[in-house]
Amino acid sequence: MPLCLPQVLAFDVFGTVVNWHSGIEREVRALRPDVDAGAFALAWRAGYQPAMQRVRSGESPWTLIDDLHRLILNQVLQQFGVTDLSEEQTRHLNKAWHRLDPWPDVVAGLTRLKSKHTICTLSNGNIALLTNMAKRAGLPWDCILSAEVFRAYKPDPAVYLGVAKIFDLPPEAVMLVAAHQNDLAAARACGLQTAYIERPAEFGSSKLKDVSPDPANTRHARNFLDLAEQLGC
Amino acid sequence: MPLCLPQVLAFDVFGTVVNWHSGIEREVRALRPDVDAGAFALAWRAGYQPAMQRVRSGESPWTLIDDLHRLILNQVLQQFGVTDLSEEQTRHLNKAWHRLDPWPDVVAGLTRLKSKHTICTLSNGNIALLTNMAKRAGLPWDCILSAEVFRAYKPDPAVYLGVAKIFDLPPEAVMLVAAHQNDLAAARACGLQTAYIERPAEFGSSKLKDVSPDPANTRHARNFLDLAEQLGC
CATH code of A107's domain: 3.40.50.1000
Chain A residues touching B132 at Cβ < 8 A = 118
Contact A216, A188 (CB under 8 A): yes
Q: What is the pLDDT of residue A227?
A: 98
Q: Which of B1-5, B117-121, B208-212 has the lowest mean pLDDT?
A: B1-5
Interface contact A67, partner B, CB < 8 A: no
The rounded distance, in Å, linking the Cα atoms of A229 and A226 is 5
Q: B117 with B225, same domain? A: yes
Name the domain boundary from A55, A77, A98. A98
The minimal CB distance from B143 to the residues A118, A144, A167 is found for A144
Residue B112, CA distances (Å) to A121, B18, B105, B217, B224 in order: 24, 18, 11, 21, 9
Q: B184 with B225, same domain? A: yes
Q: Answer yes or no: do A143 and B131 touch at CB < 8 A.
A: yes
Which residues lie closer than 8 Å to B133 by C-beta, 6 or more apart? B13, B18, B97, B98, B99, B100, B125, B139
Q: What is the pLDDT of residue A109?
A: 98
Q: B139 with B196, same domain? A: yes
The minimal CB distance from B128 to the residues A131, A132, A166 is found for A166
Q: What is the pLDDT of residue A16?
A: 98
Contact A190, A199 (CB under 8 A): no
CATH number, domain of A31, equals 1.10.150.240
Q: A161 with A208, same domain? A: yes
Interface contact B226, partner A, CB < 8 A: no
Name the domain boundary from B98, B122, B152. B98
Q: In terms of CA atoms, which chain A residue is nearest residue B125?
A: A166
SS3 letters across A61-115 = CCCCHHHHHHHHHHHHHHHCCCCCCCHHHHHHHHHHHHCCCECCCHHHHHHHHHC
Chain B residues touching A92 at Cβ < 8 A = none
The minimal CB distance from B127 to the residues A128, A130, A143 is found for A143
Question: Could you report the predicted ipTM of this complex, rounded to two decimals?
Answer: 0.94
Chain B residues touching A127 at Cβ < 8 A = 143, 145, 166
Backbone angles phi, psi at A13, to 5 degrees: -110, -60
DSSP lists the bridge partners of residue A146 as A123
Q: In terms of CA atoms, which chain A residue is nearest residue B129?
A: A167
Alpha helix stretches (DSSP H) within B61-176: 65-79, 87-94, 106-114, 127-137, 147-150, 157-166
* Closest to A108 (Cα-Cα) out of A151, A137, A79, A68: A137
Q: In terms of CA atoms, which chain A residue is nearest residue B164?
A: A128
The rounded distance, in Å, linking the Cα atoms of B125 and B110 is 19
Does residue A3 form part of some domain? Answer: no
| pLDDT confidence band for B3 (50 / 70 / 90) | low
Q: Answer yes or no: do B144 and A149 touch at CB < 8 A.
A: no
Order of strands, edge to edge, in the sheet holding A8-11?
A: A143-146, A118-123, A8-11, A174-178, A193-197, A219-221
Chain B residues touching A142 at Cβ < 8 A = 131, 134-135
Does residue B57 form part of some domain? Answer: yes
Q: In terms of CA atoms, which chain B residue is nearest residue A130?
A: B143
DSSP A18: B
Residue A157, CA distances (Å) to A122, A162, A180 in order: 12, 8, 16
The rounded distance, in Å, linking the Cα atoms of B161 and B168 is 10
Burial class (CB in 10 A: 0-12, 13-18, 19+), B187: buried
Write the pLDDT tens digit of every residue in B42-65.
Answer: 999 999 999 999 999 999 999 999
Which residues lie closer than 8 Å to A169 by C-beta, 6 or more apart? A7, A8
Contact B173, B191 (CB under 8 A): no
| pLDDT confidence band for B10 (50 / 70 / 90) | very high
Name the domain boundary from A98, A125, A140. A98
Which residues lie closer than 8 Å to B223 by C-beta, 6 or more apart? B103, B105, B109, B197, B198
pTM, rounded to two decimals: 0.96
Q: In terms of CA atoms, which chain A residue is nearest residue B150?
A: A149
Q: What is the pLDDT of residue B4?
A: 85
Q: A122 with A205, same domain? A: yes
Q: What is the pLDDT of residue B23?
A: 98
Q: Which domain holds residue B28?
A: 20-98
Q: In terms of CA atoms, which chain A residue is nearest residue B128?
A: A167
Chain B residues touching A145 at Cβ < 8 A = 127
Provide the CB-side half-sphere exposure for A44 (13 A, CA). 31
Identify residue A72 by its one-letter amino acid code: I
∠ CA B133-B229-B180, rounded to 5°: 50
Q: A15 with A27, same domain? A: no
Q: A225 with A110, same domain? A: yes
- Return the beta strands (E) in chain A as ranges: 8-11, 118-123, 143-146, 174-178, 193-197, 219-221
Buried/exposed A74-98: b ≥16 CB within 10 Å, e otherwise: eebbeebebeeeeeeebeebbbbbb
Calculate the average pLDDT of chain A: 96
- Return the beta strands (E) in B183-233 as ranges: 193-197, 219-221
Chain A residues touching B134 at Cβ < 8 A = 142-143
What is the tally of structural domains in chain B? 2
* Closest to B131 (Cα-Cα) out of A17, A169, A229: A169
The rounded distance, in Å, linking the Cα atoms of B220 and B197 is 6
Interface contact A126, partner B, CB < 8 A: yes
Does residue A2 form part of some domain? Answer: no
Interface contact A137, partner B, CB < 8 A: no
Write the pLDDT tens digit of every residue in A164-221.
Answer: 999 999 999 999 999 999 999 999 999 999 999 999 999 999 989 999 999 999 999 9
Write the pLDDT tens digit of every residue in A129-169.
Answer: 999 999 999 999 999 999 999 999 999 999 999 999 999 99
Rounded mean pLDDT of A65-73?
97
Q: A118 with A28, same domain? A: no
Interface contact A70, partner B, CB < 8 A: no
Q: B137 with B214, same domain? A: yes
CA B77 to chain centre: 23
Interface contact A60, partner B, CB < 8 A: no
Write the pLDDT tens digit of every residue in B63-97.
Answer: 999 999 999 999 999 999 999 999 999 999 999 99
Write the pLDDT tens digit of every residue in B22-34.
Answer: 999 999 999 999 9
* pLDDT at position A3 over 80: no
Q: Answer yes or no: do B168 and A143 touch at CB < 8 A.
A: no
Rounded mean pLDDT of A38-54?
96
* pLDDT at position A88 over 60: yes
User: H/E element holding B119?
Assistant: strand B118-123
**Taking the alpha carbons of A206, A76, B167, A159 in that order, is the dihedral positive or negative?**
positive
Q: In terms of CA atoms, which chain A residue is nearest residue B114?
A: A135
Strands B174-178 and A143-146: unpaired
Q: Answer yes or no: do B131 and A118 touch at CB < 8 A.
A: yes
* Closest to A16 (Cα-Cα) out of A200, A219, A142: A200
The minimal CB distance from A128 to the residues B128, B148, B166 is found for B166
Strands B118-123 and A174-178: unpaired
Q: A127 with A172, same domain? A: yes
Q: What is the pLDDT of residue A98?
A: 98
CA distance A36 to chain B (A): 31
Does residue B3 form part of some domain? Answer: no
The minimal CB distance from A127 to the residues B66, B148, B166 is found for B166
Beta-carbon count within 10 A of B183 CB: 23
Interface contact B149, partner A, CB < 8 A: yes
Backbone angles phi, psi at A100, to 5 degrees: -80, 150
Which residues lie closer than 8 Å to B75 by C-beta, 6 or more apart? B47
Contact B208, B188 (CB under 8 A): no
Interface test with B, best of A92, A127, A130 (most B CBs within 10 A): A127
The minimal CB distance from B149 to the residues A118, A130, A149 is found for A149
CA distance B115 to chain A (A): 10
